């Protein structure tokens, strides 16, 4: 049976790069069709005809940030070096009516994790299921 896309739904994800005892939980979001169309037009070279992600394509920094900005709804247990929880900051996205993370909040996420999150957000929004991790 085919299931409908639940725009706005979130899926919890733990990075495979997270080796700590207490894991950071990233909240990946199912985004509106207009955004999926826009991203697909910009990043369709990421995916093969069979729907698998190409391993030899490296998205640009702008593509990664665009994907994570719209597809990451927040986090839990993301702490600074003093062990204090980092509260995500948001701003409105005028095109799709969502609240999105600010560039300052995104800038706190290590680049390898941003890259991994972008791939999982693409899986969630185009294949409807992120890889199972953690």
Can you list the residues of the chain whose pLDDT is less than 70?
A: 40-59, 127-134
- Per-residue pLDDT, 124: 85
Beta bridge partners of 13: 26
Phi, psi of 125 (to 5 degrees): -90, -20
Q: What is residue 98's three-state secondary structure?
A: coil
Token representation of residue 5? 């896309």
Rounded CA-CA distance 94/87 in Å is 22
pTM of the model: 0.80
Identify whether the C-beta of residue 23 lies closer than 8 Å to the C-beta of residue 14.
yes
Q: Among residues 50, 68, 52, 8, which one has the least CA distance to residue 32?
A: 8
C-alpha distances out from residue 59 to 15, 18, 25, Å:
19, 22, 24
Distance, first Cα to last Cα, the chain? 28
Domain ranges of the chain: 10-127
What's the DSSP call for residue 39? H
pLDDT digits (tens, 9 = 90+) for 8-17: 889 999 999 9
- Per-residue pLDDT, 109: 97
């Amino acid at each position: 049976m085919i299931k409908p896309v639940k725009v706005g739904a979130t899926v919890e994800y733990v990075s495979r790069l997270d080796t700590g005892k207490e894991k950071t939980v990233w909240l990946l979001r199912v985004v509106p069709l207009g955004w999926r169309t826009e991203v697909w037009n910009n990043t369709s070279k990421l995916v093969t005809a069979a729907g698998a992600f190409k391993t030899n394509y490296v998205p640009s920094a702008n593509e990664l940030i665009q994907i994570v900005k719209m597809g990451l709804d927040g986090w839990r247990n993301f702490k600074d070096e003093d062990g204090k929880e980092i509260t995500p900051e948001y701003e409105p996205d005028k095109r799709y009516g969502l609240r999105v993370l600010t560039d300052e909040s995104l800038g706190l996420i290590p680049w390898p994790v941003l890259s991994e999150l972008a791939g999982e957000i693409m899986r969630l929004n185009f294949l409807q299921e992120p890889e199972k991790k953690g």
